[in-house]
Amino acid sequence: MADKVPIKPTKVAQKAAKPRESLAKSSARKPAKAAAKGLPAARKATATKGNGPATAAKPTLLSGGNPQIAKGYGDAPVQAYIAAMPDWKSDVGRRLDALIERTVPEVRKAVKWNSPLYGMEEQCWFLGIHCFTKYIKVAFFRGASLSPVPPGESKQKEVRYFHIHEGDELDEAQFAAWVKQASQLPGERM
């Protein structure tokens, strides 16, 4: 037995032998990681779940500047989307939302696929808005049936688009007429 080589303790055994003070130091670092990301340690858990005060953080902008907003129904998620629209687009978004509400007071709202949707029935939508780098795209899901037909063509037969660029003058009367007509057509199920 004298010729056996002594076995060195494994890393697991070494960790178990550490004094409690070093464990306290390592757990004390965790709040520092959360604070380094701009969130207090107590809020870190709520920020990932999407509830509590940490949700007031500015939403992420996806490629093209489209705000990443969680799926939701009602006015609140749409207003969160509009508030997160970058630069001049937020003002235009508020204006479009107000025009749609004024034209169709009973309109239903939702955010799905990071885009506000407007409709008349549960899960049936007539219009959607999406931000791109240089313009806002308004999609009329039955736009081919509108008069006059919105100018933007789509690969989908029924869909027509209306693009709004920075500095464009919005013909509110024409936009309201499109919204009114679109709201009276069968909605798109999504």
Alpha-carbon span 15 to 175, nearest angstrom? 69
Q: Specify the amino acid at residue 59.
A: P
Q: pLDDT tens for residues 13-72? A: 454 444 444 444 444 444 444 334 443 333 333 334 444 444 456 777 777 778 888 899
**DSSP helix/strand/coil, 181:** helix
* pTM over 0.85, yes/no: no
* Structural domains in the chain, sorted by start: 11-47 (no CATH), 61-189 (3.90.1150.200)
